[in-house]
C-alpha cells in the first residue's frame, strides 16, 4: 500500500506529469466557476468558499505526496479534494446536498470527506483540525506505516491557540505532519497586517524549533518541489515541518462577500500572476504543450464539470430516514 520510493523532483517530472499538473489546476478553476454559477442559480446553498487563484498550492502540494498520505484541510476544500483525485461528480453532488455526495449530503461544501482516499476532511472551525492532524500523525507513527499527514489551513488560523498547541505537540513528539499555511493575506475581510504581530508566518514555527520555509504558492512547480523535499524529512522521522505558501484568492471570502475591504487593483495585480496562465505559458514555451493539446484539455474538463453538474442534479436527495443515520457509529473493530 505504501509507496516507499520518493516522488520525483520537479525537474524529473516528464511531459505527461507536467500536463497533469496543469490539467488539475484547470479542473479546479472550472469546477469552482461552475459551482459559483450553480450557487447563483440556488442549486447550491450555505457557505461556498471558492479556491480560485490558489490552485497551485493544492495541486503542487498534493501531487508531491503519496496517495495514501492523509490530508486534513479547512472549509475552502474543493481544490484539495479535487487534487487528491476525488471524483468531481461526487464533490458536486455534495455541494448540491445529494445522497451521492462524498459525505452523503450531510457535510456540504465545507465538509468533504473521502476516507478511502485518505482525505480526512474539510473543517470549518478555524484552527480546529490541526489537533486532529497531530493525532493521525501519532497513529501513523505508532503503526509505523510510513504515511505522513498534510495539514492545510489559512493565515487566519495562526492566531488560534490550537495552532500553537498543535505545533508544540507535533514538535515534542516528532510527529510526521507537514503543516501547510495558505497565506492569502486575508481572513475574511481582515488584512493579516492588522491582526498578526508577525506577518511572515513561517517564522512562527521557529518558536517550536520546527524547520519552516516560505514558498511561492502561485507557482505549481515550486509548491511541488518544496513539498516533495520537505515530505522526505517528515517521512524519515525527522519530525514535523512547516511551509507557508504565499497566494491570493481571486474571489471573495465566500459567495456572500462584496469585498469592501480591499481594492480591485490589488486583486488585478495578483491575477497577473495567475498560476494557471503562467504555468500554461511556461509549458508552451518549453514545448510541452501546444495549442491543440491545450484546447482538447479544456474541452475534456468542460465535459467533466458539466457531467458533474448533471450527475448532482439527477442524484436523489438523502431520504428523510437518513436524518438519524450515523449520529453514532455502530461497530468498533
Partner 1 sequence: MAEIAFREALRQTMREALLADDRVVMIGEDIGAYGGSYAVTKGLLEEFGPERIMDSPISESVVVGCGIGAAMGGLRPMIELMTINFSLLAFDQIVNNAAKLSYMSGGQISVPMIIRMASGAGSQLAAQHSHSLEGWYAHIPGIKVAVPYSPRDARGLLRTAFSEPNPVIFIEHTALYARKGEVPDGDYTIPFGQAEVLREGSDVTLIGYSGSVHQASQAAELLAESGCHAELLNLRTLRPLDVEAIITSVRKTHRAVVVEDDWKFGGFAGEIAAIIMEGAFDNLDAPVARVCGADVPIPYAKALEQAALPSAQQIADAALELM
Ligand X SMILES: Cc1ncc(C[n+]2csc(CCOP(=O)(O)OP(=O)(O)O)c2C)c(N)n1
Half-sphere exposure of 200 (CA within 13 A, CB side): 7
Nearer to Mg ion, 53 or 187 (CB): 187
Which residue stretch of 27-35, 163-171, 283-291, 306-314 sits at the interface with partner 1 (rule: CB under 8 A)? 163-171
Q: Does 128 bind partner 1 (CB under 8 A)?
A: yes
Nearer to ligand X, 32 or 182 (CB): 182
Q: Does 137 bind partner 1 (CB under 8 A)?
A: yes
Question: Residue 76's binding partner, choosing from ligand X, Mg ion, partner 1, none, with beta-carbon cut-off 5 to 8 A by kind?
Answer: ligand X
CA distances, 144 to each of 47, 68, 174 (Å): 38, 14, 13
Among 101, 156, 217, 240, binds partner 1 (CB under 8 A): 101
- Binding to partner 1 (CB under 8 A) within 61-100 occurs at 70, 72
Nearer to partner 1, 260 or 324 (CB): 324
Enumerate long-range contacts of 5-9, CB under 8 Å, 24 or more apart. 6/228, 6/232, 7/63, 7/64, 7/65, 7/66, 7/228, 7/231, 8/228, 9/225, 9/228, 9/229
Among 102, 158, 205, 243, binds partner 1 (CB under 8 A): 102
Query: Min. distance of Cβ 181 from partner 1 in angstroms?
Result: 17
Sign, CA torsion 143/202/53/10: negative
Query: Min. distance of Cβ 50 from ligand X in angstroms?
Result: 10
Q: How far apart are CA 18 and CA 14, in angstroms?
A: 6
CB-count exposure of residue 140 (10 Å: 0-12, 13-18, 19+) = buried
Nearest position to ligand X, beta carbon: 154
Question: Residue 142's binding partner, choosing from ligand X, Mg ion, partner 1, none, with beta-carbon cut-off 5 to 8 A by kind?
Answer: partner 1
237 in Cβ contact with 174 (< 8 Å): yes
DSSP states along 226-261: HHHHHHHHHHTTS--EEEEEE---SS-SSTT---TT
Q: Which residues bind Mg ion (CB under 5 A)?
A: 154-155, 184, 186-187
Beta strands in 13-92 (DSSP E): 70-74
Among 114, 155, 182, 216, binds partner 1 (CB under 8 A): 114
Among 133, 150, 226, 245, binds partner 1 (CB under 8 A): 133
> Contact positions toward partner 1, by CB under 8 A?
70, 72, 101-107, 111, 113-115, 120-121, 123, 125, 128-140, 142-143, 161-162, 165-166, 168-169, 172-173, 325-332
Amino acid at each position: 500500500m505504501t509507496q516507499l520510493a520518493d516522488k520525483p523532483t520537479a525537474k524529473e517530472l516528464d511531459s505527461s506529469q507536467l500536463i497533469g499538473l496543469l490539467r488539475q489546476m484547470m479542473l479546479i478553476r472550472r469546477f469552482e466557476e461552475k459551482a459559483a454559477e450553480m450557487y447563483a442559480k440556488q442549486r447550491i446553498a450555505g457557505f461556498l468558499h471558492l479556491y480560485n487563484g490558489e490552485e497551485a498550492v493544492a495541486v503542487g502540494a498534493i501531487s508531491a505526496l503519496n496517495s495514501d498520505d492523509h490530508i486534513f484541510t479547512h472549509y475552502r476544500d474543493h481544490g484539495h479534494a479535487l487534487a487528491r483525485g476525488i471524483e468531481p461528480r461526487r464533490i458536486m453532488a455534495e455541494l448540491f446536498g445529494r445522497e451521492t455526495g462524498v459525505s452523503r449530503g450531510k457535510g456540504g461544501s465545507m465538509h468533504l470527506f473521502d476516507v478511502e482516499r485518505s482525505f480526512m476532511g474539510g473543517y470549518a472551525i478555524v484552527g480546529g483540525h490541526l489537533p486532529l492532524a497531530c493525532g493521525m500523525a501519532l497513529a501513523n507513527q505508532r503503526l509505523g506505516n510510513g504515511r505522513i499527514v498534510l495539514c492545510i489551513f489559512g493565515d487566519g488560523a495562526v492566531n488560534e491557540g490550537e495552532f500553537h498547541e498543535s505545533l508544540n505537540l507535533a514538535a515534542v513528539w516528532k510527529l510526521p505532519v507537514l503543516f501547510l499555511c495558505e497565506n492569502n493575506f486575508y481572513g475574511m475581510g481582515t488584512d493579516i497586517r492588522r491582526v498578526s504581530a508577525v506577518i511572515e508566518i513561517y517564522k512562527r514555527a521557529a518558536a517550536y524549533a520546527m524547520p519552516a520555509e516560505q514558498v511561492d504558492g502561485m507557482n505549481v512547480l515550486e509548491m511541488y518541489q518544496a513539498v516533495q523535499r520537505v515530505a522526505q524529512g517528515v517521512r524519515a522521522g525527522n519530525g514535523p515541518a512547516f511551509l507557508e505558501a504565499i497566494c491570493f484568492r481571486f474571489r471573495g471570502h465566500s459567495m456572500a462577500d462584496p469585498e469592501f475591504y480591499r481594492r480591485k487593483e490589488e486583486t488585478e495585480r495578483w491575477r497577473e500572476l495567475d498560476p494557471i496562465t503562467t504555468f500554461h505559458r511556461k509549458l508552451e514555451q518549453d514545448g510541452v504543450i501546444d495549442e491543440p493539446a491545450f484546447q482538447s484539455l479544456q474541452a475534456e474538463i468542460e465535459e467533466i464539470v458539466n457531467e458533474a453538474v448533471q450527475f448532482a442534479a439527477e442524484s436523489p436527495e438523502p431520504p428523510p430516514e437518513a436524518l438519524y443515520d450515523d449520529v453514532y457509529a455502530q461497530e468498533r473493530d
